[in-house]
Structure 1
């Protein structure tokens, strides 16, 4: 069959795509980074498309041509600079269903449990709107509602669990006793494979029979990482509110943190369904992790995950202060250039360099601009070292180290670049 997968570069979508290719299907994938996806999965066709702009049936006509099945693995947690939930999870899906009516294509929707206290949040409300429209469309369909999905890789909530599991000395958790059901990402791929083969239809919850508390799940991941046991420290929910507030603010700037308010609200009531016994077998958390032994790269990822936002924030503060502090004493700062140029030129050069520092410090906080800002920081740092070495080499011997201090900043910038990718 010829199958279109939405969100094919994501945690779930990439595994589903690989499974369907292995099943012998021709797969076309849509994702956030098709250029890299072409290198990673060359057996898949990767056209360029943006779901948030495909909100009319005619937007889907070319993509749906000769397709037999559409699998929707796309989704986002919360509105922000990089995500529009209404456009991506609702409007685009309704347009897809309308366009698919002509040839009665099978639609497989990877959804979520949309009831409960978090049900009115945009994340679940838009999912529910799309699910209800699909069920009423008359199209052949399967709606899958997986619990917390675990696998060899990690993204979102599963990444956060690994990071918490690697916390030194103790495990600080809010909602530590919240119930959590899990399953393997391979279970989701198996269900999609069965749907494509015509064996599954309807609205199905996917979860293993095992229910763990959040604390038990984090401890299980700590054991998987090969770390010694640590005591769980249960934190009152109000203690996490400042973190959630900053995570939401970061979301407005394009960063997709699993610590945002939507995730915290979902976790407050647990990830558990009131499901009847499913005909589909689902793998327990322990079995999923045992089937995918951890390596040192998993330990590095877990330890760096929560350090990454601190590195970005630290670089931002460093560059903002580097630009703002000299502005408070512009005349004094510009005296460094007086032996080499007129006073007016020295003042202008100092002002320009300060403004560049401030611009880079602000730009690195905006996710779409972060990579260019980090590269700019490297370029400016190297230019600063080269210029200062030529004009005033004695600064290398300054006890306050104005040049030496740039070197760790460069290393921190390289670390930020190395960990910038989200997928």
Structure 2
């Protein structure tokens, strides 16, 4: 079959693309950005939220036999619109499928949205479900719980990183989870792409065990080969602050798993009844313990777990460093900066040089903070830091032997930027 796969760069979508290609299907991937590692036969670079009319979809549906919709966003941001992706955009996609004669549509929703909708995420997901159910299509709506697999992104990445801590902080008001394995989700989608598969079904994809978040983290910690960790519940006021910080970071274009919508969703839990799913497909969902036991943790798994939380420290530190040095140079440190420049023979240009350097530093800090420009900000920091080191070596070589080693400090700064570049990609 020739399949249009939306959300092709996501946790489920990217893994599904590989599986379906191995089964002999031709996959056209659709996402807001093309994956550099996912080698598909074709790509459609589209923001689903911008697809306001069925006619917008028709060029992408030519020759397509089936559509699998894996697109989703946790929360609104300058780059993402939950209502557009989950409801309005897919509604026009479903209408276009009906118009163009594409019968089979498999739609990934979220567990429990038909029962309770505490956030924009769940309410828009359910709105998209209802749009599909009104169409004369062979539709299947799959509502997975929290999906875990060898790959990790968002909540699954956060769970792994929490397992790396000797003291595990847990958010208050979290409800049980029936985590489901990525491999079981992929097998289910593959099942429903068969010509004789049933349709017009809503199924919950939930694992066999109800686990608290602390239990999930403990199983991953055991998988890593580390001993039991002490658990603490984060005070509720502090948890509110952390979620709001996540919202702020999201407004800058990043996609942190800890945001207000996440708080609302984990407060309702992610549990369901897997019996209908098992009955229809014959799939017996793996428990988390079985899945982890089947594939031992490798050293790169441990690296990822530790680096994921460090990433949340490294980038704010770099932003604060660059913006902070710029502000200091323009305020309390201005006179000292001018004096230092004059000692190099800059003369009347000393003040302008200090101001130019401060503005360059602040521009890099802003660039690193704003996710669409982060890579460019990091790259710009490397030559600017090198320029400072070379210029100071030529004009004031004595700064290498100053007691506080001001020029020696540039070396670890450069290395930290290289580390940031190495761990920048989210998936």
Q: What is the TM-score of this pair, normalised by structure 2? A: 0.93
CA distance in 1, matches of 2:213, 2:203: 24
Q: Say which SS state the counterpart of residue 406 (structure 2) adopts.
A: coil
**How do 1:153-172 and structure 2 match up within 5 A?**
153-168=151-166, 170-172=167-169
CA contact (8 A) 1:194 1:200 kept: no
Which residue of 130, 140, 143 corresponds with 1:142? 140
Q: How much has 1:339 moved relative to structure 2?
A: 4.7
- Residue 415 of structure 2 corresponds to residue 411 of structure 1: yes
Is the 8 Å Cα contact of residues 174 and 268 (structure 2) preserved in structure 1? no
| Unaligned runs of at least 5 residues, structure 1 | none
| Contact 2:178/2:211, CA 8 A, preserved across alignment | yes
CA offset at residue 119 of structure 1? 0.9
Residue-pair matches, total? 419
Change (3 A) 1:179 1:116: farther
| Secondary structure of 2:160 counterpart | helix
CA distance in 1, matches of 2:375, 2:323: 17
TM-score (structure 1 length as normaliser): 0.94
Q: Deviations over 1:232-259 (max 9, x none)?
A: 2233333312111111100011111111
- CA gap of 1:35–1:164, structure 2 versus 1, over 3 A, is closer
Map of 2:259 onto structure 1: 260
Q: Is the 8 A contact 2:110 2:144 kept in 1?
A: yes
Partner residue, 2:319 = 316
Q: Mapping of 1:5-84 within 5 angstroms?
A: 5-36=5-36, 40-84=37-81
Tell me the residue number matched to 2:215: 216
Which is worse superposed, 100-109 or 246-255?
100-109
The Cα offsets for residues 192-236 of structure 1, whole Å up to 9 and x where unpaired, read as 111110314211111122111111111001011121111222333
Stretches of structure 2 that go unaligned for 5 or more consecutive residues are none
C-alpha change, 1:116 and 1:214, in structure 2 (3 Å) is: farther
1:274 CA displacement: 5.2
**Which residue of the partner structure matches residue 251 of structure 1?**
250
Contact 1:176 1:234 in 2 (8 A): no
CA distance in 2 between partners of 1:394 and 1:259 (Å)? 47
Match of 2:147, SS?
strand
Contact persistence 2:32–2:45 (CA under 8 A): no
Q: CA deviation at 1:419?
A: 0.7
2:355 to 348, 351, 354: 351
Cα RMSD, aligned residues only: 1.8
Query: What does the per-residue CA deviation read over 1:241-291, in whole Å, with 9 as the maximum and x for residues that have no partner?
Result: 211111110001111111111112211232112565432421111112222
Task: Specify which of 279, 284, 289 is matched with residue 281 of structure 1.
Answer: 284
Q: Contact conserved, 1:2 with 1:27, CA < 8 A, in 2?
A: yes
Instruction: Answer yes or no: is the 8 Å Cα contact 1:396–1:404 preserved in 2.
Output: yes
CA distance, structure 2, for counterparts of residue 348 and residue 413 of structure 1: 27
Residue in 2 that maps onto 1:295: 298
